Amino acid sequence: MAEILFYHLTQSTLDEALPGLVERSLARHWKVTIQFMSDERRDAMDSYLWVYADDSFIGHGTERDKFPDLQPVYLTVGEENPNGSQVRFLVEGADCSNPQNYERLVVMFDGRDQELLAEARRQWKSYKEQNHQLTYWQQTEDRRWEKKA
């Protein structure tokens, strides 16, 4: 069974929080897939990951790039996994029908958006019924992550 982590954004935006979590996965030598709900949002993150910090960037690709199997981070709106990712990030309501194919699934949602909050609750219930190991992390006021469940 996959380890599934829910990250409840309360202080940061997805753009502020996601790169740090992806960097932690890469530091563990895991390949990563990030699944979005729209091409527009995927494309915006595609541009952002190259410039999100003055002294750093996250190498990545999409299905439009050559050799997606060689990418450390793969951005998609589908469920494919061409780079053999061990970790899959689901953002902005994206869902994964095969979580057992990953070591870790990370569901990130903005708690200020009622639709995303409802979708995260639905996903929690569904993954719980499938007997996956779930943990819930919520941001503190200083933007750190605190384990709540």
Q: What is the CATH number of the domain that holds 15?
A: 3.40.50.10110
Share of the chain above pLDDT 70, in %: 100
Q: Say if CB 74 and CB 81 are below 8 A apart.
A: yes
Number of domains, the chain: 1
Which residue's entry shows tokens 């943990």?
A: 135
For 31-48, write each residue's pLDDT tens digit: 999 999 999 999 999 999
For residue 129, give the 3-state DSSP assignment: helix
For 54-103, write each residue's pLDDT tens digit: 888 999 999 889 899 999 999 999 999 999 999 999 999 999 999 999 99
- Range of 20's domain? 3-147
